[in-house]
Amino acid sequence: MQRITILGATGSIGVSTLDVLARHPDKYRVYALSAHERVDALAAQCRAFRPQRAVVGSPEAAARLRELLADLAIDVAHGEAALCEIASSPDTDTVMAAIVGAAGLAPTLAAARAGKKILLANKEALVMSGQLFMDAVKEHKATLLPIDSEHNAIFQSLPGNYTSHAGRSPDAAGVAKILLTASGGPFLQRAVETLEHVTPEEACKHPNWSMGRKISVDSATMMNKGLEVIEAHWLFGAPADRIDVVIHPQSVIHSMVSYVDGSVLAQLGNPDMRTPIAHALAYPERIASGVDQLDLTTLAALAFHKPDFDRFPCLALAFDALRAGGTAPALLNAANEVAVQAFLERRIGFRAIDRVVRRVMDENPHGAASSIEAVMAQDARARAAAGRIVHALSA
Ligand code: NDP
Ligand code: MG
């Protein structure tokens, strides 16, 4: 029995994870679940999966959850320290890191330091503190498996057990390039001059994937792909110029690895996050995920083309941040989180997202990512700076 903690259980990835777990009650038991404020949804999950512990964001949410679960013996707690506890407890083996944004960093890092098997969906944690995070994984012999569909596909297309923390390098494995596919999101074809006026609803309407609101907006700006380039850099030890973004609107190929001998290996499947989740849960075995088999004969033609960096300036900003190194990716990530939130709250327009991020990057020097404290300080500075820019734009 693998005992599982799900950080962010009520989100899109959390719900898909529980769906896979429910298919294999003989293999997995839920140890702990967390949510931030959707207490009713978490209470229903607790009733169905009977974890030992549940964690929410505030004392009020915890009080309400205790009330809802009064007849069950489930320990309810709140706050970051409790999240770190359920991620590192000796009573859990595997941690699904599916909190959205920088809020996931501390508990995911706690899981790494406790040597857990980490299923990483929370890409922002790795973007913010890549080196420190990978060092912790290595030092504490944690296992890191990518959930992000592209990185999971790359992992499956690389030689067995290839990860940068296992000391493998692209050169030693004969890897020429990592080909990170991108759907291009809902605005791939839309006239650029009309992007100023798109609504949060339009931005969240992804053509192929159903996801949380933040990552949906990131997909529309292609900041998501930028964050994924940085994520791929850390997971697979590839420099920026060995990672190519390829637009592939059908999202059937989830990414590829191109080798020095001319071979290209790809992973294909229907676009459903339960596939990478099941893959990582059972790795190196395979379990059913509930996803339909891919029917190649019914597929439309698969298309591939280069990304347009003028249409998607966030993608260029992310490459810049990766090349700059240090705390630059933490700056990028924090500014983006603030800008996306402001867009979702209709305080700024869609095109202001990349402007806010660029100004924060231009106006705030980055430093060395020497400690988590240094990264968090940079994150806080970037949030304050982005907040001021948003305020000025929305005034
Ligand atoms: P959702 O917004 O659907 O869910 C986020 C989860 O995190 C919810 O459980 C939410 O709780 C919780 N949460 C939100 N804010 C906080 C906070 N401040 N502290 C603690 N918990 C918090 O996001 P997704 O599931 O879409 O994405 C989760 C992560 O996975 C992201 O990093 C995303 O980039 C990544 N990812 C997602 C994919 C997808 O298909 N959705 C694909 C690849 C990667 P509550 O419900 O109470 O608000
Ligand atoms: Mg992805």
Residue 265 β-bridge partners: 257
Say yes or no: CB of residue 275 within 6 Å of ligand 1.
no
Closest approach atom of ligand 1 to CA 122: 32
Domain ranges in the chain with CATH number 3.40.50.720 = 2-146
**CA atoms of 123 and 368, how far apart (whole Å):** 20
pLDDT in tens, the chain (395 residues): 999 999 999 999 999 999 999 999 999 999 999 999 999 999 999 999 999 999 999 999 999 999 999 999 999 999 999 999 999 999 999 999 999 999 999 999 999 999 999 999 999 999 999 999 999 999 999 999 999 999 999 999 999 878 767 778 898 899 999 999 999 999 999 999 999 999 999 999 988 888 999 999 999 999 999 999 999 999 999 999 999 999 999 999 999 999 999 999 999 999 999 999 999 999 999 999 999 999 999 988 999 999 999 999 999 999 999 999 999 999 999 999 999 999 999 999 999 999 999 999 999 999 999 999 999 999 999 999 999 999 999 98
Say yes or no: CB of residue 209 within 6 Å of ligand 1.
yes
Q: What pLDDT shows up at residue 133?
A: 97
- Ligand approaching nearest to the C-alpha of 153: 2
Question: Ligand 1 centre and the CA of 246: distance in Å?
Answer: 25
128: which 2 tokens? Answer: 């913010």
108: which 2 tokens? Answer: 């995911």
Mutation test of ligand 1: which of 5, 7, 12 has the most ligand atoms closer than 8 Å to its C-beta?
12
**CA atoms of 104 and 54, how far apart (whole Å):** 16
**CA atoms of 80 and 64, how far apart (whole Å):** 18
Say yes or no: CB of residue 148 within 6 Å of ligand 1.
yes
Say yes or no: CB of residue 273 within 6 Å of ligand 1.
yes
Question: Ligand 1 centre and the CA of 57: distance in Å?
Answer: 13
Q: What pLDDT shows up at residue 81?
A: 98
Q: How distant, in Å, are the alpha carbons of 133, 376, 379, 380, 390 from that of 373? A: 13, 5, 10, 10, 25
Residue 268 β-bridge partners: 253
CB 40 within 8 A of CB 319: no
Domain ranges in the chain with CATH number 1.10.1740.10 = 325-395
Q: Determine phi and psi for 337, rounding to 5 degrees.
A: -60, -45
**CA atoms of 379 and 356, how far apart (whole Å):** 15
Question: Ligand 2 centre and the CA of 187: distance in Å?
Answer: 17
Of all protein residues, the one whose alpha carbon is nearest to atom 45 of ligand 1 is 36
Of all protein residues, the one whose alpha carbon is nearest to atom 43 of ligand 1 is 148
Say yes or no: CB of residue 272 within 6 Å of ligand 1.
no
The domain made up of 325-395 is a member of CATH 1.10.1740.10: yes
**CA atoms of 283 and 145, how far apart (whole Å):** 9
Closest approach atom of ligand 1 to CA 34: 9
Closest approach atom of ligand 1 to CA 273: 40
In the CATH hierarchy, which top-level class contains the domain 2-146? alpha beta
**CA atoms of 84 and 312, how far apart (whole Å):** 36
Maximum CA extent, the chain: 62
Task: Give just the sign of the alpha carbon dihedral 31, 127, 199, 184.
Answer: negative
CB 267 within 8 A of CB 146: no
Question: Ligand 1 centre and the CA of 121: distance in Å?
Answer: 9
Of all protein residues, the one whose alpha carbon is nearest to atom 21 of ligand 1 is 36
Say yes or no: CB of residue 7 within 6 Å of ligand 1.
no
Q: What pLDDT shows up at residue 300?
A: 81
Of all protein residues, the one whose alpha carbon is nearest to atom 23 of ligand 1 is 212
Place of tokens 């959205």: 100
Q: What pLDDT shows up at residue 164?
A: 66
41: which 2 tokens? Answer: 């949804």
Q: What pLDDT shows up at residue 166?
A: 74
Q: Determine phi and psi for 324, rounding to 5 degrees.
A: -70, -35
Q: How distant, in Å, are the alpha carbons of 18, 44, 98, 108, 183 from that of 10? A: 9, 10, 9, 17, 25
- Ligand approaching nearest to the C-alpha of 232: 2
Say yes or no: CB of residue 231 within 6 Å of ligand 1.
no
3-state secondary structure the chain: CEEEEEECCCCHHHHHHHHHHHCCCCCEEEEEEECCCCHHHHHHHHHHHCCCEEEECCHHHHHHHHHHCCCCCCEEEECHHHHHHHHHCCCCCEEEECCCCHHHHHHHHHHHHCCCEEEECCHHHHHHHHHHHHHHHHHCCCEEEECCHHHHHHHHHCCCCCCHHHCCCCCCCCEEEEEEEECCCCCCCCCHHHHHHCCHHHHCCCCCCCCCHHHHHHHHHCHHHHHHHHHHHHHHCCCHHHEEEEECCCCCEEEEEEECCCCEEEEECCCCCHHHHHHHHHCCCCCCCCCCCCCHHHCCCCCCECCCCCCCHHHHHHHHHHHHCCCHHHHHHHHHHHHHHHHHCCCCCCCHHHHHHHHHHHHCCCCCCCCHHHHHHHHHHHHHHHHHHHHHHHC
Q: Determine phi and psi for 244, rounding to 5 degrees.
A: -105, 135
Mutation test of ligand 1: which of 99, 154, 383 has the most ligand atoms closer than 8 Å to its C-beta?
99
- Indicate the pTM of the whole model: 0.97
